[in-house]
Structure 1
Amino acid sequence: MDSNPASTIIDDDPILTTSAAARLLGVATSTVQLWMESGAIESWKTPGGHRRTRLSRIARLMEPAAALQPATVGQAVEAVLSTVSPAEFQAQPSPGYPVGGNEATRLVALAASGLVDSPPEARFDRVVRLAAAVTGSPIALISLLTAQRQWFKARVGLAAQETPREWAFCSHAIMHDDAFVVEDTATDERFRDNPLVQGDPHIRFYAGVPLRDKAGNALGTLCVIDREPRKLRAAELQGLLDLAEIAMEELPEPPRP
């Protein structure tokens, strides 16, 4: 008989694949993989490069999550896991900006991408230059949205590297499947008092398209801005959508199970 209690505990604690853990939690396998890669779920890699965890680690997550009584167990686990992510990538309990039901997962995916605070890259700089040219806009940005900041991976026509998340028009844009357009901020009660409207860069027009990774997480947007109210012609809007598709192809691949 084995006298080592730890050995007995391990023997009674089955190893789970990412897909098995995902079924228990009620979320996508890619979401569990992101949680494992970020360290939110304790796991290890097999010699073949696949992630594994123990049933007990998933069960511990589900216990406090069950007390939150959200719409799904998966959403509850997202809320629990958000508290073990770096502060900037934790979902806020009462944010001063709109969020979707998958905000915690989105933030984990953004952290795992490694894009925030990364050096400039020509592949993204080209996209914003083209977006400005195609739409005739003085400002074009690739923005990434942490829980605290709107950080610009690429920008043209704007000196600032970031803004507070609460000021970000892009927080609204990532809630949409298609382009989000504000033709005149002065007549839109959501934005007319925004510091970016009242002060530099004096935004009067905004159009943004969500940039989603392969798992569907909206990490940020490709957006264009003008200091005058305006509309986008059909060809300009299509050009912005096409460039967003190109930018999405350049996003890092999410971790694979």
Structure 2
Amino acid sequence: MDSNPASKPSDDDPILTTSAAARLLGVATSTVQLWMESGAIESWKTPGGHRRTRLSRIARLMEPAAAPRTATVGQAVEAALSAVSPAEFRPQEAPSYPVADSEATRLVALAASGLVDSPPEARFDRIVRLASAVTGSPIALISLLTAQRQWFKARVGLAAQETPREWAFCSHAIMQDETFVVEDTSADARFRDNPLVQGDPHIRFYAGVPLRDKAGNALGTLCVIDREPRKLRATELQGLLDLAEIAMEELPEPPAS
């Protein structure tokens, strides 16, 4: 949110840079930039394009009431920001899917990217077509994960535009550093009762690579799916990894400080 930087005298409420705010909050500067750009932290831009905020706005986030007594400052900030985020980008209290400790930060970054519900783009469509071809998979997706749904920025071989987040294999994949592979869903207790396994598209094989922005937030995955159990050959896996790297280069840059 942009606001008038002269709303209070600076000696009463000092102006902070993104790096100064990050030091106070105990989080990365890039994380504060995302929070400012998304409006979660009230800020404004200088004529040079740098984000600034007031000490009072950061101090409010650091109040102990923002989170349980045992929470760190970073967790308290995430709890405070979740209250001002749209519901879809607000962490669920007791999700029925796995989440990392950084889920709140990840959701803020995803909201700031502007990718969810954006129109199709040829650069991403090409990537999923190539992923399908190089792995011999009938389905390939670029999947983005909000708190409520799995939305497909690009897809081939699948008619659906989205699924509930609870059904998303990609919820498991974004928590990995490497490719997440399920060679036979019918033999995996985590997935064999999943509606996407029991019904259309009848997933039996899944391989997903996390797609991380420049700040390291896993916004979603590049994944391939088959209706038969299988393994990826080394060349197929490398091709999928290479395409995921290309997809990550196409992700929007985090906001500049």
Question: TM tier, shorter chain?
Answer: over 0.9
**Distance apart, 1:11 and its partner CA:** 2.5
Alpha-carbon distance in structure 1 between the residues aligned to 2:68 and 2:29: 22
Residue in 2 that maps onto 1:50: 50
Alpha-carbon distance in structure 2 between the residues aligned to 1:132 and 1:228: 15
Q: Deviations over 1:120-159 (max 9, x none)?
A: 0000000000000000000000000001010000000000
Alpha-carbon distance in structure 1 between the residues aligned to 2:174 and 2:195: 20
Asked if the contact 2:110–2:146 (Cα under 8 Å) also holds between the matched residues in 1, the reply is yes
Tell me the number of residue pairs that the alignment of Structure 1 and Structure 2 aligns: 252
Shift of the 41–195 alpha-carbon distance from structure 1 to 2, 3 Å rule, reads same
Alpha-carbon distance in structure 2 between the residues aligned to 1:8 and 1:110: 32
Greater shift in the superposed pair: 239-248 or 62-71: 62-71
Alpha-carbon distance in structure 2 between the residues aligned to 1:65 and 1:139: 47
Secondary structure of 1:134's counterpart equals helix
Residue in 1 that maps onto 2:231: 231
Q: What residue ranges of structure 2 are gaps of 5+ in the alignment?
A: 1-5
Greater shift in the superposed pair: 14-23 or 71-80: 71-80
Alpha-carbon distance in structure 2 between the residues aligned to 1:68 and 1:52: 28
TM-score between the two structures when normalised by the length of structure 2: 0.95
Q: What residue ranges of structure 1 are gaps of 5+ in the alignment?
A: 1-5
Residue in 2 that maps onto 1:129: 129
Alpha-carbon distance in structure 1 between the residues aligned to 2:194 and 2:108: 28
Asked if the contact 2:67–2:75 (Cα under 8 Å) also holds between the matched residues in 1, the reply is no
Identical aligned pairs, as a percentage?
A: 89
Secondary structure of 2:101's counterpart equals coil
**Distance apart, 1:7 and its partner CA:** 7.9
- The reply on whether 1:120 has 2:120 as its aligned counterpart is yes
Aligned pairs for 1:29-178 (under 5 A) are 29-64=29-64, 67-70=67-70, 72-178=72-178
TM-score between the two structures when normalised by the length of structure 1: 0.95
Secondary structure of 1:11's counterpart equals coil
Alpha-carbon distance in structure 1 between the residues aligned to 2:161 and 2:126: 17
Shift of the 191–65 alpha-carbon distance from structure 1 to 2, 3 Å rule, reads farther
Alpha-carbon distance in structure 1 between the residues aligned to 2:139 and 2:71: 40
Residue in 1 that maps onto 2:3: none
Aligned pairs for 1:6-45 (under 5 A) are 10-45=10-45
Alpha-carbon distance in structure 1 between the residues aligned to 2:51 and 2:57: 14
Opposite residue 112 of structure 2, the aligned amino acid is A
**Distance apart, 1:21 and its partner CA:** 0.4
- The reply on whether 1:256 has 2:253 as its aligned counterpart is no
Greater shift in the superposed pair: 47-56 or 161-170: 47-56
Alpha-carbon distance in structure 1 between the residues aligned to 2:201 and 2:191: 13
